[in-house]
Structure 1
Amino acid sequence: MQKVIIPQVADKQTDHYLTKKGYEVLMVPDPTEAAILATAPDVAGIMMFVAPFPNTLYDKLPNLKVLARYGVGYDSIDADYAATKGVWVTNTPGANSVSVAENAVTDIMLLAKQSFKVSTLMRSGQQRAARQIFGHELAGKTVGIVGFGHIGQAVAKMLSSFGVKTLLYNRTKRPTKYGEYVDLETLLRQSDFVTLHIAATKQTEHLIGEKELKMMKSSASLINLARGSVVDEQALIKALSSHQIANAALDVFDEEPLPDDSPLFKLDNVFLTPHTGSNTVEAGENMAMGAARMIDEALSGQKPEWAVNQPQF
């Protein structure tokens, strides 16, 4: 019986799918390196959250055949190196697109209306001050979407009913009626809201840095539900502190969890959430079930439908 390690939450979300398929399912809160080694060094398949999977770990797991990401991004795993070790790496494209897109639109609205600031003032007993804050209508504004995969497309479709102009930046120009493709500089200079949904790769590291932030309007907002590495965090802190841009909504960071001493906590023009953009019941079930299916396909000798690499056997 082949052993698989999965996050505890995923077993319930999949209605014990892998157990019913005949695998020995071992559950951990989060499959970190330490948890994996302590649980089953002879594991064949692992369902991964976002904990890093170091390249030095493969030789300690001689039976490993598949790493299935519970989610879309797989930047915490070196998929090319995994292939040299004969290990499949998979993800679950589209599984969380609606949830993340809804959160992106929610963040845009929160920033436009300054809802978080108003609510915070009211809760602190400053209702008079709260009533003096005026937000903006979204209608007539320009929203730039950086990255036009499943999530970016869902964001554009949702925004189509708000009366906004939508600008798109993506390496591949997929046909769409929900926006206009432009280069990154044009998008940054013209957008009132810039929302990031691009994959984290070596090419996109610090895609939004000091130079790019200076291109944005002083009244503009930045929303990041992609990956922390896409933005130069120190440059963003500087831009927010000096009000070079108006505000930001951030769900992802260079270091997660965000350290308690991060300067971001001291800024009143940034809305922070702890990488919970896909935290809905529906997305969780979709990601868990998709990852479970990828484990079963790989361990039953098939090519997983959502493989992101090609192992060398």
Structure 2
Amino acid sequence: MANKVLVPQIAVPYVKDDLAKHHLKMISTSNAQKADELLSKGKDAVAVMLLGAPFTKDMIDQMPNLKVISRFGVGYDNVDYRYAAKKGIKVTNTPGANAASVAEAAVTDILILSKHSYSISKAMREGDNDYVAKHPTNELAGKTVGIIGFGHIGRMVAKMLSGFNVNVLIWNRHPKQSQYGKFVDWDTLLKQSDFITLHVPATPDTIHSISTNEFKMMKDSAHIVNFARGSVIDQKALVEALKSGEIAGAGLDVYEKEPLPEDSELRKLPNVYLTPHNAGHSYEAIERMSTRAASEMERVINNEQPKWQIN
């Protein structure tokens, strides 16, 4: 009997032929991948390719044949990976697969915030051709950009920004050498940066690491951009900082609760540019994440060591 593997619809076109070559029975799931669907379709599955839905201890207990949970992406805060390890289940991810897409999106948000692109376009569509005269834009050249987290994405952001004649400050738990910026301490980055972009995972050390005290340290003209995880920023404190003018604005692709609730105050603030956690969903990144996640499943099922095991 063929081993059953669960694959979200977004990945199916890229992996179905390869999985078939490895004699794996692919079961397509919705991209929402809610617990009841995964359990009804694949309680006997040996592998799950997982998007951003929670994968809990209870789900693990109900899937006795499971060998691997292969994350379609980088973050793994939605998986109880420690409990999975206790049950002998490997959890993997795809580091770097969407790095270019996310880095480009972060730089795009910095430019949009600098040029007020969204609000100017919105005003023009509404017939206000005088808006731009009252709201001059800023040059990025000469500004200071702080990068928090210097993994695959942070390094790409620094390199991309090198052509904009900006001063790049970098904070990372373990400082590294880079020709594209200067490593500084936490407080220095927060106090001196005109733009701050976040690229750290959600861990006990980073969750709500940007909160009231951090916003107080930032310039009132500063903007913050988050393409990491929503929980890295204390969202309530962010709303207060944006409303009070403690910081000038924000570009957000991730939120503490996703999808962002319709009644969220963030939706009402004019100084926030919002996108729905789609930075890593370019055609190129989707293909890389799909094929790499599938390869990790195949390795584990074949009793080989995966390349990117988390636990």
TM-score if structure 2 supplies the norm length? 0.98
Q: Match of 1:215?
A: 217
> Within the alignment, does 1:20 sit opposite 2:21 as a pair?
yes
- Tell me the SS of whatever aligns to 2:150: coil
User: Is the 2:146–2:193 Cα contact (8 Å) retained in structure 1?
Assistant: yes
Q: Work out the CA distance in 2 between the residues paired with 1:180 and 1:80.
A: 35
Amino acid aligned to 1:18: L
- Tell me the SS of whatever aligns to 2:121: helix
For the aligned residues, what is the CA RMSD? 0.9
Amino acid aligned to 2:118: F
Unpaired stretches in structure 1, ≥5 consecutive residues: none
Q: Work out the CA distance in 2 between the residues paired with 1:287 and 1:15.
A: 14
% identity of equivalent residues: 48
- Tell me the SS of whatever aligns to 1:61: coil
Q: Work out the CA distance in 2 between the residues paired with 1:9 and 1:254.
A: 24
Q: Work out the CA distance in 1 between the residues paired with 2:99 and 2:159.
A: 12
Q: Match of 2:11?
A: 10
Unpaired stretches in structure 2, ≥5 consecutive residues: none
Of 44-53 and 124-133, more deviation after overlay is shown by 124-133
Q: Match of 2:195?
A: 193
Q: Match of 2:242?
A: 240
Q: How many residues align?
A: 309
Aligned pair partner of 1:173 in 172, 175, 199:
175
Q: Work out the CA distance in 1 between the residues paired with 2:118 and 2:77.
A: 31
TM-score if structure 1 supplies the norm length? 0.97
Shift in Å, 1:15: 5.3
Q: Work out the CA distance in 2 between the residues paired with 1:58 and 1:64.
A: 8
Q: Match of 2:59?
A: 57
- List aligned pairs for 1:116-135, cutoff 5 A: 116-135=118-137
- Tell me the SS of whatever aligns to 2:164: coil
- Tell me the SS of whatever aligns to 2:154: helix
Amino acid aligned to 1:253: Y
User: Is the 1:189–1:216 Cα contact (8 Å) retained in structure 2?
Assistant: yes
User: Is the 2:16–2:26 Cα contact (8 Å) retained in structure 1?
Assistant: no
Deviation readout 1:172-214 (Å, 9 max, x if unpaired) = 2222111111111110000000000001111111010000011
Amino acid aligned to 2:22: K
Amino acid aligned to 2:209: L
- List aligned pairs for 1:90-105, cutoff 5 A: 90-105=92-107
Shift in Å, 1:133: 2.1
Q: Work out the CA distance in 1 between the residues paired with 2:80 and 2:39.
A: 19
User: Is the 2:104–2:157 Cα contact (8 Å) retained in structure 1?
Assistant: yes
Amino acid aligned to 1:109: L
Of 77-86 and 256-265, more deviation after overlay is shown by 77-86
Q: Match of 2:251?
A: 249
